[in-house]
A = this chain, B = another copy of it.
Amino acid sequence: MIRLFVPDPLDADALIRPTTEQAHYLIGVMRRGVGDEVLLFNGRDGEWRAALAAMSKRGCDLALREQTREQTPAPDLELIVALVKRARLETIVEKAAELGASRVRLVVTRFTGSDHTNVSRLQAIATEASEQTGRLDVPEVVAPVKLERLLGEWPDGRRLVFCDEAGDARPVIEALREPAPCAVMIGPEGGFAPDERERLRALPFVIPVSLGPRILRADTAAISALTLVQAAIGDWR
């Protein structure tokens, strides 16, 4: 069944007006008509079954029927990723949503080729992937900041899982034992600069980890690292 993310409160008897794009997708692309059902979620009120109640040229209305799943807490797991090339970054955001990341932060490091990207497009990709993967929330995509600022404003209590290509770090499964808020960081294709790496490894909240003996592309590294954190301390246990 089609799943749509909506910002509105979801409650019995609510009537939801999806966006123009969502209405076009439902009616124009997927050929749904009055009475057909969809699933809705908003990140707060669980998942609800709703029926197409009215259609017009300007859009459609969805009438809520019943809650199909309760909202459950999701692991507090951020992905921090350097601004790699656009196609690869889009893949990474899509996969972060599939793998249950709660937030995607973009970071600019010394060897990052660019300092900006289309955040709203990445947010739309995260939303669509969340609709398809069955989760009850959508990871927020946060605009890029420089590595130094990110580290300077690091919040208490969050661990930074640093995927260190240099090779003497521990495997994720060994390094992470107790569930806690956590962020996984993936560098740019050229890796971190030597002083960035030294700075990272000296910080008390940083846990360096290894992703095996081969060189991974950024998208593979992001997927593998999120998978291992979910398996070690997240909701894949």
Considering the chains assembled together, what is the distance between the CA atoms of A213 and B100 in angstroms? 9
Contact A133 B171 (CB under 8 A): no
**Is the pair A231, B171 in contact by a Cβ cutoff of 8 Å?**
yes
Stretch at the interface among A60-68, A150-158, A177-185, A221-229: A221-229
A104 at the interface (CB under 8 A from B): no
Query: With A212-B230, A231-B173 known to touch, is A220 a contact of B220 (CB < 8 Å)?
Result: no
- Contact (Cβ within 8 A) A98 B231: no
Is the CB–CB distance between B134 and A220 below 8 Å?
Answer: no
Proximity bits, A37-48, B CB within 8 Å = 1, else 0: 000000000000
Bound form: Cα–Cα A210–B231 in Å: 10
Which of B134, B213, B220, B237 touches A215 (beta carbons < 8 Å)? B134
Inter-chain contacts of A103 with B (CB < 8 A): none
Give the shortest distance, in Å, between A208 (CB) and chain B (any CB): 15
Name the B residues within 8 Å of A230 (CB-CB).
212
Q: Which residues 158-192 of A sit at the B interface, judged by CB distance below 8 A?
A: 171-173
A235 to B213 alpha-carbon distance, docked (Å): 7
* Interface membership of A120, Cβ < 8 A: no
